[in-house]
Structure 1
Amino acid sequence: MTYEELKNQKDFNVNLNYSFNEVAILAPSLDVFGSVEPIVTISKTEPFNYHPRDYRDTVLDLEDWREAVKLAQELALTPLNERGKVINHDWVKRAQKSLRGILGRG
């Protein structure tokens, strides 16, 4: 499974957060602020390394959490070099904004 395939699941709406070392599957939190909580993290640097987390503070039910864990396991079992590349869009946007500021266009 690639990162793009994980992101584009048909039967399961997956929200992802990419960091330098891991990918986190996120779910909306039960708090009133509209935040999200990681329910599973998958290492981007170590094969077979993923960590399910407690889902009870999110709006997910048990079956959705199990599906997220199953998807994370499938990604973790995929060799690192076959998962595809990930662009951290937030980093790109900040860099573009900084560049526009340096060039006097922002």
Structure 2
Amino acid sequence: MTYEELKKSDFDVNLHYSINEVAILALSFDAFGGVDPIVTISKAEPYNYHPRDYRDTVLDLEDWREAVKLAQELAMTPLNERGKATNYDWIKTAKRALHGILGRG
């Protein structure tokens, strides 16, 4: 499985990319409408993924199991076959900062 296939799977996933891992996120019950990681997958170590507690999120048990299954499938894929993961949040932040510096934001 590639990062793109995970993102476009039948299970609607929200992903967050960092330097060493990809996190599958779910809306949390907190008052601010934030998100919490429910599974993290290492981008540096093969076969390394970590399910997390889903009870503080809006996910039910079956959705959490599906997310863990997808994470396991991605983690079992060799690192060089997963494709490239683009951190779109970083790009958006950089664009906002540049527009602020240029006085366009």
- What stretches of structure 2 of length at least 5 have no aligned partner? none
RMSD over equivalenced CA pairs, Å: 1.5
Aligned-partner Cα distance in 2 for 1:87–1:52? 22
Aligned-partner Cα distance in 1 for 2:92–2:55? 33
Letter in 1 for 2:7: K
How far apart are 1:33 and its partner, in Å?
A: 1.3
45-54 or 31-40, larger mean C-alpha shift: 31-40
Q: 1:1-106 maps to which residues of 2 (within 5 A)?
A: 1-10=1-10, 12-100=11-99, 104=102, 106=104
Aligned-partner Cα distance in 1 for 2:80–2:34? 32
Letter in 2 for 1:9: S
Letter in 1 for 2:77: T
How far apart are 1:97 and its partner, in Å?
A: 4.0
How far apart are 1:96 and its partner, in Å?
A: 3.4
TM-score w.r.t. the length of structure 2 is 0.89
How far apart are 1:93 and its partner, in Å?
A: 2.6
- What stretches of structure 1 of length at least 5 have no aligned partner? none
Aligned-partner Cα distance in 2 for 1:101–1:69? 39
How far apart are 1:7 and its partner, in Å?
A: 0.6
Per-residue Cα deviation, 1:17-57 (whole angstroms, up to 9, x for no partner)? 11010000001101221111100000000000000000011
TM-score w.r.t. the length of structure 1 is 0.89
Q: How many percent identity over aligned positions?
A: 75
How far apart are 1:91 and its partner, in Å?
A: 1.8
Q: How many residues align?
A: 104
91-100 or 28-37, larger mean C-alpha shift: 91-100
Aligned-partner Cα distance in 2 for 1:30–1:101? 32
Per-residue Cα deviation, 1:43-72 (whole angstroms, up to 9, x for no partner)? 000000000000011111111110000000
